[in-house]
Amino acid sequence: MKKKALITGITGQDGSYLAEFLLKKGYSVHGMVRRVAAEDESHRFWRLRHIKKSLNIHAGSLESYASVINIVTKIKPNEIYHLGAQSYIDYAFKDEFSTINTNINGTHFLLSAIKEFSPKTKFYFAGSSEMFGKVREVPQNEKTPFYPRSVYGISKVAGFDLTRNYREAYKLFCCSGILFNHESPRRGFEFVTRKITHAVARIKFGLQKDLQLGNIDAKRDWGHAKDYVEAMWLMLNRKKPEDYVISTGKHYTVRDFAKLAFKLVDLDYKKFVKVEKKLYRPSEVESLLGNCSKAKRELKWKPKYDFKKLVEDMVKADLEFVEKEGY
Ligand code: NDP
Ligand code: GDR
């Protein structure tokens, strides 16, 4: 019988790559989407259009325990990948309460539903390098203490602790990936990498004059989402549930990213990038750098994309996107 996987957040960047990856592995792939998204197919399913016919989509709400129970008991999946979350940190500062509610309750409801109704289901929680926040050591590994700098980071620490506690208290197979930033041509336009590569393409085609950014000295350890979804699967397909840092082990500034992206279309970023203080965050995470040696050793995982290949992939895709769509 085919293995069944349930993905929350299937319409997002990671959800779409993971769905593709699991279909190729022969899984029956189920996705939980909010009703507003299910009813707005033309906009919300742009990342899944090419595989939509192979997926089983279920409308449901991460904010409702009844809804979560309903889906878990109906599908009884072998694996749940819990990726659904309010994931944009700028927005988390503007709407703290809904970020906390969705991110913490969604995780708690799923864990509780597994414990009560489907205890053999394996569970993956999308933890984040934002949990390290104001970093306590460099580079960060699985033992580095957390110091989140936003309600988003706080919600991810709570999700991480809930996942660990369900593993220890109820002996469920549940684990967290502590994933550092990962990007792709499917990244949402609000995140800085996509904002840059989209603007580079628009400027190249004469549709935009400049690019406003916030803190361009912030450093991130950027990988490619395609590489990172494979690590999620590897975590659920080993004997023992454990938590893993997933990263590239190299970090660059936002300025480095912009410099390379503009250079790829023969432009000088200094002529186009305008730093705007209003785009700075109330409390910034200045620098993140991951040490993923545990994942390399135990999961035999390593990234295929480096920084240059990632930027090239995103710029190329956005040049094609702007040429085709005209915006
Ligand atoms: P995206 O923002 O691209 O996708 C988020 C997904 O969550 C979408 O499917 C979205 O659905 C869904 N979602 C958002 N709010 C709600 C809600 N209130 N109820 C139900 N579903 C909701 O994120 P990514 O794919 O980049 O990330 C996947 C997960 O990994 C997230 O949990 C994120 O926090 C975490 N993460 C991401 C990293 C990264 O660098 N990408 C790094 C570390 C962790 P809809 O289409 O309806 O909006
Ligand atoms: P991040 O990603 O906050 O790390 O969260 P984002 O791309 O939003 O910011 C990265 C860094 O760039 C700086 N920055 C800007 N950011 C945005 N969005 N827009 C700008 O104009 C801009 N200018 C500078 C930010 O201040 C920040 O330092 C992502 C999300 O995917 C989370 O869900 C995930 O958990 C973390 O990565 C790891």
What CATH number corresponds to the domain at position 18?
3.40.50.720
Residue 35 confidence (pLDDT)? 84
b/e burial code for range 275-293 (CB count within 10 A of at least 16 → b): eeeeeeeeebbebbbbbbe
Read off the pLDDT band of 43 (50, 70, 90): confident
**Structure confidence by residue, pLDDT tens digits, 199-241:** 999 999 999 999 999 999 999 999 999 999 999 999 999 999 9
Tokens at residue 66, please? 């009844």
- Whether residues 11 and 71 share a domain: the answer is yes
- Asked whether the predicted pLDDT for residue 277 surpasses 90, the reply is yes
**3-state class of 51 per DSSP?**
coil
How far does CA 207 lie from the centroid of its chain? Answer: 29
Residue 232 confidence (pLDDT)? 98
- Whether residues 59 and 200 share a domain: the answer is no
Residue with CA nearest ligand 2 atom 8: 191
How far does CA 107 lie from the centroid of its chain? Answer: 15
Query: 18 lies in which domain range?
Result: 4-182+222-246
Ligand 1 contact, 179 CB (< 6 A): yes
Tokens at residue 292, please? 């993923």
State mean pLDDT over 117-124: 98
Ligand 1 contact, 299 CB (< 6 A): no
Read off the pLDDT band of 41 (50, 70, 90): confident
Q: Judge whether 244 and 183 are in contact, CB under 8 Å.
A: no
Is residue 147 exposed (0-12), middle (13-18) or buried (19+ Cβ within 10 Å)? Answer: middle
The CA 82 to ligand 1 mean position distance, Å, reads 9
- Asked whether the predicted pLDDT for residue 38 surpasses 80, the reply is no
d(CA 314, CA 321): 10
Number of structural domains (the chain) is: 2
Q: Judge whether 311 and 305 are in contact, CB under 8 Å.
A: no
With the C-alpha atoms ordered 291, 295, 296, 297, is the resulting torsion angle positive or negative?
positive
Cα–Cα nearest to 31, from 88, 86, 75: 75
State mean pLDDT over 171-184: 98
- Whether residues 140 and 209 share a domain: the answer is no
Active centre residues (catalytic): 128, 130, 152
Residue 39 confidence (pLDDT)? 80
d(CA 35, CA 14): 20
Q: What is the CATH number of the domain that holds 275?
A: 3.90.25.10
